[in-house]
């Protein structure tokens, strides 16, 4: 990853200056390091990290000679100006850089052979290229006991720290958790947390990436590999709908590390990742990973080869009166979704659906210009409607924080307080009142140009009456853009294929489904779980293609183990419509196969002609689905491409308010950042994972006779579950808050199949 | 051919009878090698019994034949194997691939690996040609004498 900020030498105002005797130009205000880098001259740096914010000038490595200025200047904090004369390689400048490196190395232990950073270490590289070659220091170096666990994920080796402040500044200025600091002075300086406790948060892994030495290293990656032992694969994170670019580091046939990828123009995630993305990959080896294909026939369970399992599934689909139905889960790639559609079509136009949120009512908002994450940076006003980005789309939270530092105004409408609510104008809204609140704020918002509307898919699907209000408001604001906070990983991709979010369930309930195929879908832990549970009793044989064991695989007649996002090729579409390539960093375990291979094998057995590789499957999908027009692996390249046409939307649904039936508190759901999907199965995240609970206000708690820590039974018209109670002053009355997706918690049983509004009654369990 | 020529010829033969033979009774006797001969690798221990190798994998990086595999692990108080923070849990050299260039020895920052004199490296199977850490740590099973006197040959 380069450490320099992107500089536009083509457009806009430029100033000319002399760089090592060459006449070059850069936009005014550009820092000298960035301007030099853009013009092909490298000035060594350690503390400079433009993604963090303004330069600090802590390490003094970037000393250069500027004619007319006394002494040497730090190029990271000196902006270019017209006719400036800069020497980066003059004797004076080189002497300065040598001296600084000698001082930096005075206390740096030369334990490179045992240091995980060795081989990809900026200090090593720059010492080699810019350093003096030897040291005059004979004195003892400082010693600390090492390593220290900064958290369960990050090890701190204080001896190696060069006090560049990058991690502290990241914590203070980017993640804004304010946890990290330096204590003591001079040679005794050391990184620590203010509390003395662990450094835990949603973005902690980034400090490992930005540390220019081996002071901060990743514990799951500790001593696993050296840079020359590994292969790196550019892929996309498949754990949330944001779709951050990641690099998979593979050694010994296993993905050992997920790290941020360079984002050249800071359009997407700027190379930052949340810890969910970074540490969810060990789910591939969790004890409940499926590795053996199974066939259950009557009371007997047989372990079979994957070919036999595929053959058995095909027989179940092709037999007389099979009446198949296919459910596609949110992790399925575009290719897998398309193949599933092909199989459905070959099985007599069988019903097929995804486990997502119905799109019809949301079409008016989705039709408006979509925003990239970078659009938030310069936005004067961000209007956030519903949602909980901190837990569901963490990188969006980071980007909104950046926008706020740049002076954006943040207006939030929603019922669930989240990590950003203290930072802007928070209009707490009772569920069902978004339309009214937005209407009230409309006049205030209208006056600003270039507003970015960040809206939550699930919240607005629950409150269709707010959609036209919001869409009208967006239409009235000049240059408004919308950023969807999607609920499902590849929800946008499956929507682009035209997969509806209903159909199979209704048919199953009517007894019209013979063979039910669940492709990377677990309807028993999705909204509407109770209905699915009942419907499964009326269907015939169950074929499950899944990565991990669940209640569903326990009940299945044929279980075919599938690959995870780190193990197959495919295309994922992010929540704001960017199609990106997944590339495998490791092979699926023996006994499992990539989902597309399983589907191709089934299709061939059904005598359906489908392409035999992900790229050709995508090519067919593009010709047959207009929303994918222009998409190809080549076009997607490294950073993906935006889908050019909107997804097919059926007629705009009715935008009448939805009032849930029954009595009790309104239930508002979110996800837990480390609590769902692969993150829930990763042993690396074990210590930061929060258990499931239901949150209510103190007033509701006393009304219901519940106390913090009690166990409450939640009953809705759809089902029930039992959760521990947490009482929070920050949460409003009349609402119960709970997280979906946490394995075993069963909150999904309370919800309707379309993830719509619901009321729950709480009682002591 | 005259009688004189025959006498001359047999004279050479008789002269050789008096010299000790150049042939060596291999395998009972082994050809001595020069001190800088590069043969089978050996991993070394410190005097206190700890392994010198810290599993840094620099030898693998230097190896032009890509025949070294190192998988490191952290030393713990209960299981201290090397003197550093980490040690080589797996250290393997594929002797079929090795070209005996000695770059691993040059790369090693702890003098943990050296190329020794042993040259009898044939094994009954390909898999047996992958020497593991225990084999490499053990003293040479088929020692070879080191040559000290200057060679008579050119």
The CATH number of the domain covering residues in A15-104: 3.10.20.740
**At A132, is the pLDDT very low, low, confident or very high (cuts 50, 70, 90)?**
confident
Closest residue of A to B84, CA-based?
A: A114
Residue A312 CB coordination number (10 Å): 22
Q: Does A222 touch chain B (CB under 8 A)?
A: yes
ipTM of the complex: 0.86
Residue A735, beta-bridge partner list: A666
Q: Distance from A112 to chain B by nearest Cα, in Å?
A: 8
Whether residue B110 and residue A113 make contact (CB cut-off 8 A), yes or no, is yes
Q: Does A226 touch chain B (CB under 8 A)?
A: yes
Whether residue B85 and residue A114 make contact (CB cut-off 8 A), yes or no, is yes
Give me the residue label for tokens 């060795």. A118
Looking at residue A652, what is its pLDDT?
60
Average pLDDT in chain B: 91
> In Å, what is the CA distance from A109 to each residue of A141, A595, A700, A763?
7, 48, 58, 60
Whether residue A119 and residue B61 make contact (CB cut-off 8 A), yes or no, is yes
Q: Does A146 touch chain B (CB under 8 A)?
A: yes
Looking at residue A131, what is its pLDDT?
85
Residue A654 has pLDDT above 90, yes or no: no
CB A368 within 8 A of CB A474: yes
> In Å, what is the CA distance from A692 to each residue of A279, A712, A724, B112?
20, 12, 7, 51
Looking at residue A121, what is its pLDDT?
95
The CATH number of the domain covering residues in A665-764: 2.40.40.20
- Domain A139-284 = CATH 3.30.70.20: yes
**At A694, is the pLDDT very low, low, confident or very high (cuts 50, 70, 90)?**
very high
DSSP strand pairing (A711-715 vs A759-764) = antiparallel
- Domain A294-357+492-642 = CATH 3.40.50.740: yes
Give me the residue label for tokens 């940076």. A377
Partner-chain residue, chosen from B58, B60, B74, that has the shortest CB–CB distance to A113: B58
Q: Distance from B70 to chain A by nearest Cα, in Å?
A: 9
Q: Distance from B118 to chain A by nearest Cα, in Å?
A: 28
In this predicted model, what pLDDT tens digit does every residue of A378-410 receive, in sequence order?
899 999 999 899 999 999 999 999 999 999 999
Which tokens is A39 given?
């013009």
Q: Is A450 exposed, middle or buried (0-12, 13-18, 19+ CB in 10 A)?
A: middle
Closest residue of A to B82, CA-based?
A: A114
Looking at residue A334, what is its pLDDT?
97
Residue A15 has pLDDT above 90, yes or no: yes
Distance CA A38, CA A419 (A): 37
Portion of chain A with pLDDT greater than 90, in percent: 87
**At A188, is the pLDDT very low, low, confident or very high (cuts 50, 70, 90)?**
confident
* DSSP letters spanning A604-636: HHTT----SSHHHHHHHHHHH-GGGTT--HHHH
Contacts of A375 (CB under 8 A, 6+ apart): A452, A481, A483
Looking at residue A479, what is its pLDDT?
93
Distance CA A393, CA A486 (A): 8
**At B154, is the pLDDT very low, low, confident or very high (cuts 50, 70, 90)?**
very low
Edge-to-edge strand ranges of the sheet holding B86-94: B68-74, B86-94, B130-131
**At A538, is the pLDDT very low, low, confident or very high (cuts 50, 70, 90)?**
very high
- Please enumerate residues of B whose Cβ is less than 8 A from a Cβ of A: 54-58, 60-61, 70-74, 84-86, 109-110
| Among the ranges given (A182-196, A518-532, B66-80), the one the predictor scored with the smallest mean pLDDT | A182-196
Chain A residues whose CB is inside 8 A of the B84 CB are 111, 113-114
> In Å, what is the CA distance from A214 to each residue of A200, A423, B34, B50, B59?
19, 34, 42, 25, 21
In this predicted model, what pLDDT tens digit does every residue of A587-643 receive, in sequence order?
999 999 999 999 999 999 999 999 999 999 999 999 999 999 999 999 998 889 998
The SS3 assignment for B88 reads strand
**At A765, is the pLDDT very low, low, confident or very high (cuts 50, 70, 90)?**
confident
Whether residue B85 and residue A147 make contact (CB cut-off 8 A), yes or no, is yes
The fold of B22-137 is: Alpha-Beta Plaits (3.30.70)
Looking at residue A653, what is its pLDDT?
65
Q: Where are the domains of chain A?
A: 15-104, 139-284, 294-357+492-642, 361-486, 665-764
Q: What is the dihedral of CA A442, A447, A453, A457, to 10 degrees?
A: 20
Which CATH architecture group holds A361-486?
Answer: 3-Layer(aba) Sandwich (3.40)
Q: Taking residues A499-520, what's their average pLDDT? A: 95
Q: Which residue has the higher pLDDT, A568 or A196?
A: A568
Partner-chain residue, chosen from B71, B73, B109, that has the shortest CB–CB distance to A113: B109
CB A202 within 8 A of CB A275: yes
Contacts of A526 (CB under 8 A, 6+ apart): A355, A532, A748
Question: Residues A691, A694, A696, A700: is their CA dihedral positive or negative?
Answer: negative
Partner-chain residue, chosen from A113, A222, A252, that has the shortest CB–CB distance to B56: A113
Looking at residue A661, what is its pLDDT?
86
Looking at residue A651, what is its pLDDT?
55
In this predicted model, what pLDDT tens digit does every residue of A331-357 receive, in sequence order?
999 999 999 999 999 998 999 999 999
Average pLDDT in chain A: 93
Whether residue A114 and residue B110 make contact (CB cut-off 8 A), yes or no, is no
Q: Does A223 touch chain B (CB under 8 A)?
A: yes
Chain B residues whose CB is inside 8 A of the A112 CB are 56, 109
Whether residue B71 and residue A147 make contact (CB cut-off 8 A), yes or no, is no
Q: Taking residues A138-166, what's their average pLDDT? A: 92
């Amino acid at each position: 990853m380069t450490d320099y900020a992107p500089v536009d030498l083509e457009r806009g105002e430029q100033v000319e200056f002399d760089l090592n005797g060459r006449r070059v130009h850069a936009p005014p205000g550009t820092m000298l390091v960035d301007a030099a880098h853009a013009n092909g001259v490298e000035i060594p740096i350690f503390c400079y990290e433009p993604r963090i914010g303004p330069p600090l000038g802590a390490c003094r490595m970037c000393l250069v000679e500027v004619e007319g200025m006394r002494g040497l200047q730090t190029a990271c904090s000196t902006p270019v100006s017209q006719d400036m004369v800069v020497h980066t390689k003059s004797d004076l400048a080189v002497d300065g850089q040598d001296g600084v490196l000698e001082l930096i190395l005075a206390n740096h232990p030369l334990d490179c052979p045992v240091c995980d950073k060795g081989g990809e270490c900026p200090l090593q590289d720059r010492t080699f290229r810019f350093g003096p070659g030897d040291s005059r220091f004979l004195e003892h170096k400082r010693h600390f006991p090492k390593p220290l666990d900064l958290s369960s994920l990050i090890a701190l080796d204080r001896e190696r720290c060069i006090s560049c402040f990058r991690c502290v500044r990241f914590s203070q200025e980017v993640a804004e958790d304010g946890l990290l600091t330096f204590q003591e002075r001079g040679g005794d300086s050391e990184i620590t947390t203010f509390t003395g406790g662990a450094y835990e948060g949603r973005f902690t892994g980034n400090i490992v990436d930005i540390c220019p030495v081996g002071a901060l290293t990743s514990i799951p990656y500790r001593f696993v590999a050296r840079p020359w032992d590994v292969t790196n694969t550019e892929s996309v994170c498949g754990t949330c709908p944001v779709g951050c670019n990641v690099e998979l580091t593979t050694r010994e046939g296993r993905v050992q590390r997920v790290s941020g990828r360079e984002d050249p123009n800071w359009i997407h995630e700027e190379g930052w990742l949340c810890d969910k993305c970074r540490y969810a990959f060990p789910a591939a080896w969790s004890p409940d990973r499926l590795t053996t294909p199974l066939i259950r026939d009557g009371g007997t369970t047989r372990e079979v080869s994957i070919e036999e399992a595929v053959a058995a599934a095909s027989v179940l689909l092709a037999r007389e009166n099979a009446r198949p139905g296919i459910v596609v889960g949110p992790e399925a790639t575009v290719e897998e979704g398309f193949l599933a559609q092909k199989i459905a079509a070959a099985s007599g136009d069988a019903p097929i659906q995804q486990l997502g949120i119905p799109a019809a009512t949301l079409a008016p908002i989705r039709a408006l210009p979509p925003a990239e994450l970078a659009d938030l940076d310069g936005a004067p006003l961000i209007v956030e409607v519903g949602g909980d980005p901190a837990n569901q789309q963490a990188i969006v939270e980071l980007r909104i924080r950046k926008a706020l530092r740049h002076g954006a105004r943040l207006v939030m409408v929603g019922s669930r307080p989240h990590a950003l609510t203290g930072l802007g104008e928070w209009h707490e809204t009772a569920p069902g009142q978004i339309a009214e609140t937005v209407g009230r704020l409309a006049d205030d918002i209208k006056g600003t140009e270039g507003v970015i509307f960040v809206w939550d898919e699930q919240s607005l699907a629950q409150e269709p009456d707010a959609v036209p209000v919001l869409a009208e408001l967006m239409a009235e604001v000049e240059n408004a853009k919308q950023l969807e906070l999607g609920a499902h990983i590849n929800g946008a991709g499956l929507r682009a294929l035209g997969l509806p979010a209903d159909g199979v369930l209704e048919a199953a309930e009517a007894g019209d489904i013979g063979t039910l195929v669940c492709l990377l879908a677990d309807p028993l832990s999705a909204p509407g779980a109770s209905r699915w549970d009942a419907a499964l009793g009326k269907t015939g044989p169950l074929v499950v293609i899944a990565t991990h064991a669940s209640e569903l695989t326990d009940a299945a007649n044929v279980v075919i183990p599938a690959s995870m996002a780190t193990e197959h090729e495919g295309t994922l579409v992010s929540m704001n419509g960017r199609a990106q390539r997944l590339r495998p960093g490791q092979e699926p375990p023996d006994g499992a196969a990539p989902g597309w291979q399983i589907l191709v094998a089934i299709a061939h057995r059904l005598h359906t002609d489908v392409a035999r590789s992900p790229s050709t499957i995508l090519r067919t999908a593009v010709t047959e689905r207009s929303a994918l027009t222009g998409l190809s692996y080549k076009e997607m390249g490294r950073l993906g491409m935006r889908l050019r046409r909107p997804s097919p939307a059926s007629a705009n649904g009715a935008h009448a308010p939805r009032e849930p039936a029954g009595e009790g508190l309104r239930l508002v759901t979110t996800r837990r950042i480390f609590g769902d999907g692969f993150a829930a199965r990763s042993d690396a995240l074990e210590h930061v994972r929060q258990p499931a609970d239901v949150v209510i206000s103190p007033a509701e708690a006393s009304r219901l006779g519940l106390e913090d820590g009690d166990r409450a039974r939640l009953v809705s018209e759809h089902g029930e579950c039992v959760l521990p109670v947490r009482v929070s002053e920050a949460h409003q009355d009349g609402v119960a808050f709970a997280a979906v997706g946490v394995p075993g918690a069963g909150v999904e049983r309370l919800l309707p199949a379309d993830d719509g509004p619901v009321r729950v009654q709480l009682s002591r369990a | 051919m005259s009688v004189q020529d025959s006498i001359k010829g047999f004279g050479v033969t008789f002269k050789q009878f008096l010299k000790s033979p150049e042939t060596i009774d291999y395998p009972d006797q082994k050809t001595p090698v020069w001190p800088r001969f590069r043969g089978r690798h050996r991993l070394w221990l410190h005097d206190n019994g700890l392994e010198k190798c810290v599993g840094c994998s620099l030898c693998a990086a230097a190896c032009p034949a890509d025949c070294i595999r190192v998988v490191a692990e952290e030393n713990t108080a209960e299981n201290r194997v090397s003197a550093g923070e980490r040690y080589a849990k797996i250290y393997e050299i594929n002797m079929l691939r090795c070209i005996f260039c000695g770059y691993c020895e040059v790369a090693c920052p702890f003098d943990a690996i050296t190329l020794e004199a042993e040259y009898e490296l044939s094994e009954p199977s390909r898999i047996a040609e992958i020497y593991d850490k225990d084999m490499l740590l053990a003293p040479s099973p088929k020692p070879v004498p080191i040559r000290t006197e200057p060679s008579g040959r050119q």
